[in-house]
Amino acid sequence: MHTALIVDDEKWIVEGIKSGVDWSGRGFEVIGDAENGQDALELVKSLRPDVVLTDIKMPVLNGLELIKKGREASPDTLFVVLSAHAEFAYAQKALNYGTFGYCLKPFEIEEIDSMLGRLAEVLGARKLEASSAPHVPDLYEAICSGDMELVNSVLQQAGMFISDAHPLLPVVVQSGKAAAIQPGLRQLSFQMSPRRYGYLVHAHAAEALLQDISRSYQGAMYSIGTGFAFPDLAELNASLEAASLASYGAFTTGRAGIFAPPPPTNPYMEDMLKEIMDALGRKDRVQFLSCMNTAKTFFSEGRFSMKEAYLMFTALIYHFFRTGSSGSGKMFEGYEELSYYFGQADAMIDYLVEHTLEDLRNPSQAIRSDISHKTIREILKYIHDHFTDDLSIQVLSEKFYLSPNYLCHLFKKEVGENFIEYVSNQRIGYACKLLVETSDPIKRIGDHCGFNDYFYFTRIFKRIMGMTPTQYREQHRQ
């Protein structure tokens, strides 16, 4: 039986969750509750629950502080945020602390029940993995528990003294086996999980260690992350965490290599999540695809780290669960599960696109049932996903292995209008949507729809719609 703790400063919410959810049916037992973060933290320390469901805004100690301190006190405890819509930004921030997920108030009991189901899956899998995983060396246990005296003792026994003149540097490698290190190179290694190894080395010898590790995995898709050099063991945890995050560089970029830790904050992700959620809210297929393509570029260029990958995936999957869309997928407990499941960020994004696009397809974008020609149906599907790009008959003929003349003839015969008319109608239809749903300037809307010339855009719009874009916006907003 898994154990759970409920934290909320509104007692009626606590009692409602306790009585309204079939805890035992999901394999859980509520072993305590608290009305403020400080009392909850003491319960986390003493009870070590499997799961904590916590509010964000609470007296004494808020939910974010509880999660941060609670994970330090009980690393295996999973946290789920109970957050009002107005506090959504806080819920997103909580994900950076390793939160499993969040439920937005006002929530349905079924939503919490579904969350418990996913938690039970993760906890069950974790116990199975723990029972079969090899023993983690004492050094890593000491690091995780904060026993710096034992860490220092192990370092001294290995002749690795730490000082301002001899700082240490952590290295983390994503691999199912330890690297072969030259006997003369002084370092300490430890297994962090079945697929992750850590190393401690003096900063001046780090280059030699990295060369040894790289040689060990030559020809394989290795991913090595480095932390920052530190002269004081008080900085060990932070540096090792940075190295661990950097070690997912091959997942994010799609390339093997050695990766430095990413910056602690990323200004691009908040803006991108806003754009994605705006696109989902307005069922804007084009904007969603544009965001996903931009995300792929940012990952490959190293501008997005595993932290951003986890945040993006969790936010979208939560949206699926929240809206009950067909895109609902599974949650992952952390970075390692996400990396192991998808292998690369591109595959993760393709999964999100595949499980989202059908929910964003407008009836006007449906391919007519009377078009039976297989290649033309594929071409129409491609046009619907790329009509804002620089499309041409030449581009399509090369992609679908048809001569330009034959493609023009076949398109007109099957669709009933020529290629240029069809693409223009798709672009103007999307422009109409943006004119009504956004406050973007007319020129920017034209650019978004694939028209690089403002006057050409307004001329085509008036020819198809019988009025200018400005008139259309004013008429439909009234």
Give average pLDDT by consecutive 10-residue segment, the chain, 478 residues.
90 87 89 91 90 87 85 83 64 61 74 85 69 54 88 89 94 84 86 88 94 82 92 94 95 93 86 89 86 94 93 85 61 82 90 78 66 88 86 89 90 90 90 90 90 89 92 84
| Threshold 0.75, pTM exceeds | no
In degrees, rounded to 5, the angle at the alpha carbon of residue 100 between the alpha carbons of residues 99 and 105 is 85
**What SS3 string covers 218-248?**
CCCCCEEEECCCECCHHHHHHHHHHHHHHCC
Give domain 2-132's CATH architecture: 3-Layer(aba) Sandwich (3.40)
Helices (H) and strands (E) in the chain, counts: 23, 10
CATH entry 1.10.10.60 includes domain 363-477: yes
Beta strands in 49-206, from DSSP E residues, in sequence order: 51-55, 78-84, 101-105, 168-174, 187-193, 196-202
CATH class for domain 138-259? alpha beta
Contacts of 304 (CB under 8 A, 6+ apart): 252, 266, 268, 269, 295, 298, 345
pLDDT tens by residue, 183-221: 788 899 998 887 889 999 999 999 999 998 988 887 677
pLDDT at 169: 96
pLDDT at 246: 96
Which residue has tokens 């220092």? 152
d(CA 245, CA 240): 9
Paired tokens of 263: 């910056």
**Domain range list for the chain:** 2-132, 138-259, 267-360, 363-477
pLDDT tens by residue, 235-245: 999 999 999 99
pLDDT at 137: 47
Distances (CA, A) of 144 to 73, 99, 138, 156: 10, 18, 10, 19
pLDDT at 76: 80
